[in-house]
Amino acid sequence: MTAGSRVFIDKQSPTVYKAMAAAAAELRSQAADMGLDRIISELVNLRVSQINGCAFCLDVHSAAAFKAGETPQRVAVLPSWRETTLYTVKERAALHIAEAVTLVSDEHLSDEDYELVRQSLSDDEISLLILTAITINSFNRISIFSGHPVVPRPHST
């Protein structure tokens, strides 16, 4: 596909896109207000983007995760989070949510997994993380269907 052969949905419908961006900003603000670590939100964004195969969002949210203090090792093994002890109980609960929301047509969050989520997260955190997963799923679809490019950035040490 050549440059310009796809409609950039965010540019074609800017008021809708800006409203979506405002919703994402509000989610980040509420997360900060309730003391939810930014890394948890970025893990949700990354895991959803991995499942959906959205290179643009993976690029954006890996940079945001690193800025928030996430490690390259944890980002690298994120697709296999169940196979490692690198993630906290709270982060694992958030990752259960991320996968359940993204793969809702395949399998819903089991009652057993939902109970684990309830033991680790407050009702406000559950609501916010579900909305975060819904929102990043929407942004993934916009970027994938628009063909948003990932541009190289300088390597930093």
The string of pLDDT tens digits covering residues 97-137 is: 999 999 999 878 889 889 989 999 999 999 999 999 999 99
The answer to whether residue 135 is domain-embedded is: yes
CA distances from 153 to 41, 42, 59, 118 (A): 23, 20, 10, 40
Provide the residue type at 109 as one letter. L
User: What tens digit of pLDDT does each residue of 61-78 get?
Assistant: 999 999 999 999 999 999
10-19, 54-63, 103-112, 144-153: least confidently modelled range:
103-112
pLDDT at position 5: 85
Q: What CATH number should be reported for the domain holding residue 96?
A: 1.20.1290.10
Rounded Cα distance between 31 and 37, Å, is 7
Q: Residue 3: pLDDT band by 50, 70, 90 thresholds?
A: low
How far apart (Å, rounded) are the C-alpha atoms in residues 93 and 121? 7
Interhelix angle 38-52/123-146, nearest 10 degrees = 40
32 or 4, higher pLDDT: 32
Number of domains in the chain: 1
Q: Report DSSP state, residue 24.
A: H
Which sign, positive or negative, has the C-alpha torsion 78, 44, 42, 14? Answer: positive
* Residue 81 lies inside a defined structural domain of this protein: yes
Both tokens of residue 125?
A: 């955190």
